[in-house]
């Protein structure tokens, strides 16, 4: 079982949190903070597994994470999951995001939290892996997008909103947007196809 | 406006992504203010009618939830959005709901309804999105056979949550889940594998029967994810079914050689090492693991170590050979890897290498930077040394000095651990006490070094142990005066209260022993001096802010003042004082109390006296003052001045020691321990002469003991060699080599000290049970369900029967009642017999390598004949009698030369097909002739058909496989298939046979009718009143009622009649009103409310099927009208 999926940036700001067990909002924040604390102090070239998250789970649980540019993708899983399997799954997730958002970056996750959730919902449901085939996931997401478009109404809004924001005069923005691309392909690990 | 609100939320998002904002986020005022502004905006938006605006607001709320804001106040709005007609909005609503709703949410009923509605939506994504939401809908079962694989796979996955929530749903749903393992869509298949693996992980034995299926999947699937899951599952199954292991070798080898995915390879190796039977293969895998650990990829290194720890449990030897590698990993820069390596060390130690390993660890302790890792090292050292009752420690002096060395660690959280070890060793290992006391005295002497910063320093806990050991075993103390002085230092008052309390208490012990010593030596002045010292120094403790310290100190001060008075009178007091602390304190196993059986006739819950009116019970002692359990023993030892009281106390103390033994902090499984080492007390203990003075505190001394130990071992070895040489002089050469090879092995190293496990540690009549080890709250325990057992009636899900009757596996069978009626003139008897009995039947099913027992399932067998008056006397071969259906069913015979009278039928549910019944008919030959070639034929109706052998037509009869001599009865079985059970059925039939007597043979025929009444399809099922009430509330039931007048029998009798003839059971009875319940073999619930008025009875019935109900009531009316 996957207990929780967390995405946060290099500063520990949550970008997505999905808990498959009920925690109160406060506990959720504590978990995110604790996880960030554990993960962030690790070097780049150490292993991607981490034990000892106190709040979530216990000894049976493990944190499996990957670090892409500005973002940490952390899966908290128990012993029924294959460690390398989950690493591959994170890769699939990121690649799917990359496909759906075209060169995904941290901003995409901020603007489209709901979409990221929708993509995640096609991969993991109730803590169990639903689909590992990227093409299948993308097909479903595309179909849903089409449906959304056909419902019109709000369809144009997000695009307008993005352009509106982009046109705003915020001097700091560029500094923070240029967080590099996170579309990193990890060559060594074969993905599920 | 919409745009503006989007802008606002986006602005906000930006604000939070700024690093600057980040820095101050903990205290950031502006941000909190900003968000409260945002929330106000959102509240405004939620009030709007426009669903798009609402949805947008909810979307923003979801974001806020992620940031830790409670958004449950908007629950109702979320549901509004969930119920939007457009998918776009609906999805937003569901996302918000899944993020913030939980069981306690007050709108959960609304949510459930909304989900129900969406589940039945024609749009696949609507349904999909609803499934993602919450797991409350039971209707998911139906969706598992949805036409779209997309829905099927989601439905299958969500079933796991349903099972967790409602374990009782697992059995009915399991066959369908199993089906999905072979679903044509790989996604659905993978979902099913996921769910079953998750289930099986908790209770693998219940899933052994699925092994062949998984085996097939493993060889055919190409999906790595599925393969990994299956392989992991086999890892859990093989320990239960060793034969599986062999079967797995081939496919696993294939996978290992063919796969390019490291994850799959690793899992294969992982599974192989759990099947310990595969020796040759096993070594290969261990080698592979070594390669993994040596790999530069940190992930693989980590996993290699992880897998090693699994091998450790089964093959410690094969891991020990990689000790070098593992010790090397301790130096890795990655903490995860170091921790893994530490774990492995735990299992790798032996008597031989313990000292060496601990030495290495001590070096690491010195080098460690972070306190967490250092604390981890500390606990590991203690774990390693203390494991299985100090099994690997051969020299306790060494261990004590290691513990003393560990006290140099500053800022550790584990001071109490060290303290507990010190206490434990000092108490259990009697031989070490002298040494322990000297070390502890040294610690006390240097307390200022340890307790330099008491507030943050957990290490001062060791002083607790030191003070106690010095006090309790003061007879071993050489420089008692010096120690006493150390304990009386003003600095002590800065220690935490619970430690001071122990100090005060143990000072007296120490004082008592010094007093005795001095008195015996006749040094009266010295004795008085020491008393004076006590009287001078104790007041500093009397002034303590800690109540415990204060109380103890003032008691003791009084005691000592009294002693002083006596001393002045030159009365010898030492004997009296020392008697205060007489007696041994023995360790008691942690579970000892639980294991004492309660004596017969003792009710522990009963009040001995009337309970006190207010809550001032003794339990409410200020527990917080007693920091640890260890302190309890000294609580009752406050000395009194009065002589008599002293004596009484002394007695009481002895009593207390006998009854309420000292409790020692747990160490691994004491029960086992003492069983494993019988009679340790008789083993002579080697005493080591301490030549090294132990003066310098805080210096690494353990090394000395390592050397000493080596010398000792060497000596031991030499001695043994000598012995052996003596014993076997003839074969000396050979044996000498043998010895030199093996002296270093485990068995030859005799420990220098033995751990005393005093038998009192467990009560004499302890009950050996380990039940208490299980966690009763384990949520997965509920899912430990035997899945191969056929479903019982009560287990069917009420929702299912509308939708998927066809797939329900059910042992229920039709229960028609057959009666044959004798028309023989002689026998005008009334018969009334109704028997039900259960017959167990065992079926064994062998599934390839796994055997699984099918649970006995019930068969119902009923025997019945009916009470009917035969009004007419008829000669042989009379005409057919009109059928009289009185009750459950009749099979009416034509009058015959033969009277076949007793009827038995046996209802045997067919597992594969629940619409089949077997009717067993007992034929009894009541004539004087011999009957043979009997053949039974029934005219089939559309609904009910007799099952004939293939190829025969509907007109063919079925031969009865026996002949009947006169007066003999025998039983034959006939299978019928049925469709509907809501209507009563009558089948005409003929029995043809040949009558053979002295006069010759004649061909005879007997017509009969089989009456399958509705009541006969009912099965008496007990039902609890709350379940009954729920059923009635559910509102799925049709209602109908009857009233019968002219009833004279008692209500009791009436109920009995209904129970008996119509297979009901009484749920509840109040006066002349009763509720009754029964269910049909096809799962219809039938509820009755029976009320008796004067001379009349009214029955209100409720049932899922109105036809069935009305038929049942009609039958009931008929029965009752006869009363």
Contacts A163 to B, Cβ<8 Å: none
Residues 12-31 of B with CB under 8 A from A: 13-14, 16-20, 22, 25
Local structure of residue B776 (DSSP, 8 states):
T
CA distance between the termini of chain B: 80
Interface contact flag, A192 B302, Cβ < 8 Å: no
Q: CB-based burial of residue B803 (10 Å sphere; 0-12 exposed, 13-18 middle, 19+ buried)?
A: middle
Section B159-188 average pLDDT: 79
Identify which has the larger pLDDT, B104 or B775: B104
B192 three-class SS: helix
Q: Does B163 touch chain A (CB under 8 A)?
A: no
Query: How high is the pLDDT of residue B455?
Result: 53
> B191, B202, B85, B188: which is closest to B146 by C-alpha?
B188
Contacts A125 to B, Cβ<8 Å: 131-132, 154, 157-158
Beta bridge partners of B834: B864
Distance separating alpha carbons of residues B905 and B971, to the nearest angstrom: 8
Torsion sign across C-alpha atoms B15, B21, B26, B29: negative
Beta bridge partners of A50: A63
C-alpha distance from residue B665 to each of B242, B381, B503, B590 (Å) = 39, 18, 19, 7
- The mean pLDDT value of chain A amounts to 76
> B880, B891, B923, B882: which is closest to B817 by C-alpha?
B891
Q: Does B62 touch chain A (CB under 8 A)?
A: yes
Contacts B89 to A, Cβ<8 Å: 154
Query: How high is the pLDDT of residue B255?
Result: 81
Cβ-contact B985, B1016 below 8 angstroms: no
Cβ-contact B206, B196 below 8 angstroms: no
Residue B464, pLDDT > 80, answer: yes
For B19, nearest residue in chain A (alpha carbons)? A11
C-alpha distance from residue B1033 to each of B112, B138, B1019, B1041 (Å) = 18, 18, 22, 18
> B193, B158, B311: which is closest to A82 by C-alpha?
B193
Contacts A140 to B, Cβ<8 Å: 150
Identify which has the larger pLDDT, B663 or B201: B201
Query: How high is the pLDDT of residue B764?
Result: 52
Phi, psi of B858 (to 5 degrees): -80, 140
Query: How high is the pLDDT of residue B756?
Result: 52
Residue A189, pLDDT > 70, answer: no
pLDDT tens digit string along B588-630? 766 777 777 777 777 777 777 777 665 444 444 444 444 444 4
Residue B820, pLDDT > 60, answer: no
Contacts B335 to A, Cβ<8 Å: 42, 46
- The mean pLDDT value of chain B amounts to 68
pLDDT tens digit string along B467-500? 888 888 888 888 888 888 888 888 888 888 888 8
Query: pTM of this prediction?
Result: 0.54
CA atoms within 13 A on the CB side of B886: 17
Count, residues in chain A: 193
Beta bridge partners of B892: B821
Interface contact flag, B95 A118, Cβ < 8 Å: yes
Q: Does B95 touch chain A (CB under 8 A)?
A: yes
Interface contact flag, B158 A126, Cβ < 8 Å: yes
Q: CB within 8 A of B248, min separation 6: which ones?
A: B234, B238, B271, B272, B275
Distance separating alpha carbons of residues B683 and B188, to the nearest angstrom: 65
Identify which has the larger pLDDT, B749 or B149: B149
Q: At B390, which helix (H) or strand (E)?
A: helix B371-390
CA distance A68 to chain B (A): 17
Torsion sign across C-alpha atoms B729, B735, B741, B745: negative
pLDDT tens digit string along A32-61? 888 888 888 888 878 888 876 666 656 678
Alpha-helical segments (H) within B203-297: 211-220, 224-237, 242-258, 262-274, 279-294
CA dihedral B557, B563, B568, B573 (to 10 degrees): -160
Q: Does B131 touch chain A (CB under 8 A)?
A: yes
Q: Does B4 touch chain A (CB under 8 A)?
A: no
Distance separating alpha carbons of residues B87 and B386, to the nearest angstrom: 62
Q: ipTM for the complex?
A: 0.77
Nearest to B62 among A114, A125, A130 (CB): A114
Cβ-contact B322, B308 below 8 angstroms: yes
CA distance A176 to chain B (A): 7
Interface contact flag, A85 B7, Cβ < 8 Å: no
Query: How high is the pLDDT of residue B675?
Result: 41
Nearest to A151 among B88, B225, B228 (CB): B88
pLDDT tens digit string along A62-109? 889 999 888 999 999 888 888 888 998 999 999 999 888 888 888 888
Distance separating alpha carbons of residues B969 and B903, to the nearest angstrom: 10
Q: At B1066, which helix (H) or strand (E)?
A: strand B1065-1070
Q: At B1077, which helix (H) or strand (E)?
A: strand B1073-1080
For A143, nearest residue in chain B (alpha carbons)? B125
Interface contact flag, A176 B16, Cβ < 8 Å: no
Q: Does B343 touch chain A (CB under 8 A)?
A: no
Distance separating alpha carbons of residues B473 and B426, to the nearest angstrom: 9
Contacts A7 to B, Cβ<8 Å: none
Query: How high is the pLDDT of residue B145?
Result: 60
Residue A146, pLDDT > 60, answer: yes
Helical axes B480-487 vs B461-472, angle rounded to 10°? 140
Interface test with A, best of B81, B88, B154 (most A CBs within 10 A): B88
Buried b (16+ CB within 10 A) or exposed e, B116-144: eebbeeeebbbbbbbbbbbbbbbebbbbb
Distance separating alpha carbons of residues B395 and B429, to the nearest angstrom: 11
B1080 three-class SS: strand
* Range with top average pLDDT, B292-296, B801-805, B915-919: B292-296
Interface contact flag, B3 A164, Cβ < 8 Å: yes
Nearest to B10 among A43, A52, A161 (CB): A161
Distance separating alpha carbons of residues B816 and B793, to the nearest angstrom: 18
Angle among Cα B664, B667, B671 to the nearest 5 degrees reads: 90
Strand order in the sheet with B904-907: B833-839, B859-865, B904-907
Contacts A88 to B, Cβ<8 Å: 224, 261, 263
Distance separating alpha carbons of residues A12 and A15, to the nearest angstrom: 9
Q: Where are the domains of chain A?
A: 1-150
Interface test with B, best of A51, A130, A132 (most B CBs within 10 A): A130
Distance separating alpha carbons of residues B138 and B136, to the nearest angstrom: 6
Q: CATH says A1-150 is which class?
A: alpha beta
Distance separating alpha carbons of residues B129 and B151, to the nearest angstrom: 10
Query: How high is the pLDDT of residue A73?
Result: 93
Beta bridge partners of B518: none
Cβ-contact B916, B941 below 8 angstroms: no
Contacts B237 to A, Cβ<8 Å: none
Cβ-contact B890, B865 below 8 angstroms: no
Identify which has the larger pLDDT, B826 or B727: B727
Q: Does B2 touch chain A (CB under 8 A)?
A: yes
> A154, A100, A149, A135: which is closest to B125 by C-alpha?
A149
Phi, psi of B55 (to 5 degrees): -60, -40
Query: How high is the pLDDT of residue B687?
Result: 41
> B150, B147, B83: which is closest to B110 by C-alpha?
B83
Question: What pairing do the DSSP bridges indicate for beta strands A62-68 and A49-50?
Answer: antiparallel
Angle among Cα B243, B247, B251 to the nearest 5 degrees reads: 155
Max distance between CA atoms of chain B, in angstroms, equals 133
Contacts B2 to A, Cβ<8 Å: 157
CA atoms within 13 A on the CB side of B390: 23
Contacts B329 to A, Cβ<8 Å: none
């Amino acid at each position: 079982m996957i207990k929780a999926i967390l995405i946060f940036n290099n500063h520990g700001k949550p970008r997505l949190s999905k808990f498959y067990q009920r925690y109160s909002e406060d506990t959720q924040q504590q978990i995110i903070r604790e996880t960030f604390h554990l993960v962030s102090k690790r070097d780049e070239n150490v292993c991607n597994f981490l034990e000892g998250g106190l709040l979530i789970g216990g000894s049976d649980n493990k944190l499996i994470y990957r670090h892409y540019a500005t973002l940490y993708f952390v899966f908290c899983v128990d012993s029924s999951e294959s460690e390398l399997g989950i690493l591959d799954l994170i890769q699939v997730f990121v690649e799917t995001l990359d496909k759906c958002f075209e060169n995904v970056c941290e901003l995409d996750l901020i603007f489209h939290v709901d979409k990221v959730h929708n993509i995640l919902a096609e991969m993991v449901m109730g803590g169990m892996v639903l689909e590992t085939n990227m093409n299948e996931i993308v097909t479903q997401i595309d179909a849903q997008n089409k449906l959304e478009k056909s419902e019109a109404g709000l369809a144009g809004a997000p695009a307008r909103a993005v352009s509106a924001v982009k046109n705003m005069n915020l001097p700091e923005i560029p500094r923070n947007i240029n967080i590099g691309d996170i579309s990193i392909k990890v060559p060594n690990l074969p993905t599920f196809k | 406006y919409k745009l503006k609100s989007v802008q606002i939320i986006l602005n906000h998002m930006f604000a939070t992504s700024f690093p600057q904002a980040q820095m101050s986020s903990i205290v950031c005022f502006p941000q909190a203010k900003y968000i409260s502004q945002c929330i106000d905006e959102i509240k405004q938006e939620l009030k709007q009618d426009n669903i798009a605006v609402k949805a947008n607001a909810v979307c923003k709320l979801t974001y806020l939830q992620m940031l830790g804001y409670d958004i449950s106040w908007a629950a109702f709005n979320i549901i509004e959005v969930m119920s939007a007609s457009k998918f776009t909005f609906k999805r937003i609503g569901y996302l918000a709901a899944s993020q913030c709703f939980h069981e306690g949410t007050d709108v959960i009923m609304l949510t459930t309804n909304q989900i129900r509605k969406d589940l039945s939506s024609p749009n696949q994504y609507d349904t999909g999105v609803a499934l993602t939401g919450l797991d409350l809908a039971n209707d998911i079962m139906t969706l598992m056979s949805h036409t779209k694989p997309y829905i099927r796979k989601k439905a299958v996955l969500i079933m796991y949550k349903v099972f967790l929530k409602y374990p009782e749903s697992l059995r009915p749903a399991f066959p369908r889940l199993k089906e999905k393992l072979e679903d044509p869509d790989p996604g659905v298949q993978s979902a099913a594998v996921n769910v079953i693996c998750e289930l099986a992980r908790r209770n693998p034995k219940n899933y052994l029967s699925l092994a062949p299926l998984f085996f097939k999947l493993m060889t055919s699937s190409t999906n790595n994810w599925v393969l990994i899951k299956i392989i992991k599952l086999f890892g859990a199954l093989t320990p239960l079914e060793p034969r599986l292991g062999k079967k797995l070798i081939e496919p696993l080898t294939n996978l290992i050689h063919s796969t390019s995915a490291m994850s799959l390879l690793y899992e294969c190796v992982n599974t192989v090492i759990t099947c310990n039977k595969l020796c040759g293969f096993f070594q290969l895998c261990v080698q592979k693991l070594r390669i993994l650990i040596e790999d530069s990829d940190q992930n693989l290194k980590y996993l290699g170590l992880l897998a090693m720890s699994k091998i450790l449990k089964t093959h410690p030897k094969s891991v020990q050979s990689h000790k070098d590698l593992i010790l090397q990993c301790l130096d890795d820069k990655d903490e995860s890897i170091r921790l893994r390596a530490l774990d492995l060390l735990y299992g790798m130690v032996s008597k031989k290498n313990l000292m060496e390993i601990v030495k290495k660890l001590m070096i690491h302790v010195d080098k460690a930077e972070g306190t967490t890792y250092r604390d981890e090292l500390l606990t590991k050292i203690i774990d390693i040394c203390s494991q299985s009752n100090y099994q690997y420690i051969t020299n306790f002096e060494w261990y004590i000095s290691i513990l003393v060395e560990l006290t140099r660690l500053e800022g550790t959280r584990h001071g109490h651990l060290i303290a507990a070890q010190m206490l434990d060793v000092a108490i259990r290992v009697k031989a070490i006490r002298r040494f322990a006391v000297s070390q502890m005295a040294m610690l006390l002497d240097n307390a200022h070094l340890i307790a330099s910063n008491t507030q943050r320093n957990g290490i001062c806990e060791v002083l607790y142990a030191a003070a106690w050991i010095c006090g309790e075993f003061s007879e071993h103390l050489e420089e008692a005066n010096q120690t006493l002085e150390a304990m009386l230092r003003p600095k002590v008052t800065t220690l935490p209260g619970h430690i001071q309390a122990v100090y005060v208490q143990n000072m007296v012990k120490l004082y008592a022993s010094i007093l005795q010593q001095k008195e015996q030596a006749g040094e009266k002045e010295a004795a008085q001096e020491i008393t004076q010292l006590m009287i001078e120094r104790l007041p500093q403790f009397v002034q303590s802010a800690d109540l415990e310290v204060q109380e103890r100190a003032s008691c003791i001060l009084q005691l000592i003042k009294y002693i002083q008075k006596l001393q002045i009178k030159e009365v010898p007091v030492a004997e009296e004082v020392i008697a205060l602390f007489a007696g041994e304190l023995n360790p008691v196993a942690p579970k000892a109390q639980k294991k004492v059986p309660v004596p017969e006739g003792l009710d522990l819950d009963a009040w001995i006296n009337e309970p006190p009116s207010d809550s001032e019970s003794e339990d409410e002692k200020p527990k917080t003052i007693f920091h640890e359990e260890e302190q309890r023993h000294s609580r009752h030892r406050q000395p009194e001045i009065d002589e008599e009281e002293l004596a009484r106390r002394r007695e009481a103390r002895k009593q207390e020691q006998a009854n309420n033994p000292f409790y020692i902090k747990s160490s691994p499984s004491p029960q086992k321990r003492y069983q494993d080492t019988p009679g340790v007390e008789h083993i002579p203990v080697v005493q080591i002469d301490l030549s090294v003075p132990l003066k310098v505190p805080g210096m690494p001394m353990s090394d000395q003991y390592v050397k000493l130990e080596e010398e000792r071992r060497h000596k031991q070895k030499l001695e043994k060699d000598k012995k052996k040489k003596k014993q076997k002089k003839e074969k000396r050469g050979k044996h000498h080599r043998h010895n030199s090879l093996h002296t270093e092995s485990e068995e030859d190293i005799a420990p220098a000290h033995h751990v005393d496990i005093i038998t009192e540690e467990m009560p004499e009549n302890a009950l050996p049970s380990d039940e208490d080890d299980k966690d009763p709250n384990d949520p997965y325990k509920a899912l430990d369900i035997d899945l191969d057992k056929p479903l019982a009636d009560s287990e069917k899900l009420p929702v299912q029967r509308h939708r998927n009757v066809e797939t329900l596996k059910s042992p229920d069978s039709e229960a028609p009642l057959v009666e044959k009626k004798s028309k023989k003139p002689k026998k005008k008897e009334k018969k009334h017999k109704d028997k039900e009995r259960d017959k167990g039947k065992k079926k064994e099913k062998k599934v390839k390598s796994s055997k699984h027992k099918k649970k006995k399932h019930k068969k119902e067998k009923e025997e019945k004949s009916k009470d009917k008056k035969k009004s007419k006397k008829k000669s042989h071969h009379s005409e057919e009698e009109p059928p009289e259906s009185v009750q459950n069913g009749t099979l009416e015979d034509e009058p015959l030369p033969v009277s076949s009278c007793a009827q038995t039928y046996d209802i045997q549910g067919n597992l594969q097909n629940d619409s089949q019944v077997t009717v067993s008919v007992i034929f009894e030959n009541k004539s004087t002739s011999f009957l043979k070639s009997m053949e039974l034929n029934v005219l089939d109706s559309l609904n009910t058909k007799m099952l004939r052998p293939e190829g025969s037509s509907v007109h063919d009869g079925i031969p009865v496989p026996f002949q009947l001599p006169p007066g003999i009865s025998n039983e034959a079985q006939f299978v019928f298939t049925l469709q509907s059970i809501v209507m009563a059925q009558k089948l005409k039939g003929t029995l043809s046979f040949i009558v053979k007597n002295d006069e010759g043979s004649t061909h005879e025929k007997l017509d009969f009718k089989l009456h399958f009444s509705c009541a006969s399809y009912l099965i008496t099922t007990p039902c609890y009143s709350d379940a009954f009430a729920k059923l009635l509330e559910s509102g799925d039931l049709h209602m109908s009622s009857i009233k019968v007048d002219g009833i004279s029998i008692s209500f009791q009798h009436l109920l009995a009649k209904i129970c008996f003839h119509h297979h009901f059971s009484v749920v509840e009875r109040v006066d002349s009103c009763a509720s009754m319940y029964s269910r049909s073999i096809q799962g219809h619930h039938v509820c009755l409310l029976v009320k008796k008025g004067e001379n009349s009875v009214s029955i209100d019935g409720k049932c899922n099927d109105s036809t069935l109900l009305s038929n049942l009531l009609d039958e009931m009316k008929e029965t009752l009208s006869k009363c």
